[in-house]
Amino acid sequence: MGSQAGNTVVVTGANSGIGFEATAAFAAAGAHVVMACRSTDRGRNAKREIEQEYPGASLTVHELDLGDLDSVERFADWYRAEYDALDVLANNAGVMAIPRSETADGFETQFGVNHLGHAALTAYLLPVLRRTNGESRVVTQSSGVHERGRIDFDDLQSEHDYDKWDAYAQSKLANVLFAYELDRRLRAAGASVTSVACHPGYAATNLQLRGPEAEGSRLRVLAMKAANVLVAQSAEQGAWPLLYAATEPDIDGGEYVGPTGLFDMRGHPGTQQSSDRSYSEDTARRLWTVSEELTGVSFDLPEP
């Protein structure tokens, strides 16, 4: 990754895991990073940790709860008041395979946080992205699990039938569909903003533990910890695809970036093919419309 001096980056979920590692890497390369965190206490602790390793790091912590659309709007209002530019929006935060719950707005939590919260944030920050000098990027973090995902428009909130992994896969497929549709609409608008999807492969983070912990399953917690040690790559390596998608000069927009090693689970980043369902423009267009209706937040972009 080349120098990021003079660039401003927003990373959601910046206080732990891949978000933390990406934040540290951006800051080490000279960018100013806004750490968008649900817990500002954990965010400030992460900020101090990065500053200890990189004394010149330029970091700001601000509250963002993607499970609360009012919080998303407050964050965007604050950002637009404080900053004139945004070079990279890294839609990274997420929850995985948790027992069914709902966001403050009544959405199934995985769909609400992983997709709808980030879609609303992107819409709110799009005017800043568009007026930034040069090319700015929106990078949306998905998962290889998106390949098993289907968008169930008849039960988007999994009210009638909930399987934690199916709900997670749906939210991660929504991430890829959203990233591709956003890029198509940005192109139609002639905007100097590109949209890219990525996935980290299998990286050792706390994300894998939250579902078993919420279920109170000590055995599954131990199993996940063992898998993280024996199979996964590090969180630092898991951040590579996001960093590549955000900074690689050859990225044109509309790509899917992930590890290129064993089973696309580890290794150096590169562009890949996502699932066949993720390329359905009809599904993406319908999801876009439904997402605007559910969040009440609209994009000022033409339909491609």
Count of C-beta atoms within a 10 Å radius of residue 304: 14
Axis crossing angle, helix 17-28 with helix 240-247, rounded to the nearest 10: 50
Count of C-beta atoms within a 10 Å radius of residue 28: 15
DSSP bridge partners of 121: none
For residues 97 and 207, what is the distance between their CA atoms, to the nearest angstrom? 9
For residues 5 and 10, what is the distance between their CA atoms, to the nearest angstrom? 15
Alpha helices in the chain (DSSP H): 17-28, 40-53, 69-82, 109-111, 118-131, 164-189, 207-215, 218-230, 235-238, 240-247, 281-295
For residues 182 and 190, what is the distance between their CA atoms, to the nearest angstrom? 12
Using only the alpha carbons of the chain, give its radius of gyration.
18
Q: Is 168 a catalytic residue?
A: yes
Q: Which two structure tokens, joined as six digits, stand for 266?
A: 């580890």
Contacts of 117 (CB under 8 A, 6+ apart): 66, 67, 69, 72, 103
The catalytic residue among 54, 79, 162, 168 is 168
Which positions are catalytic? 168
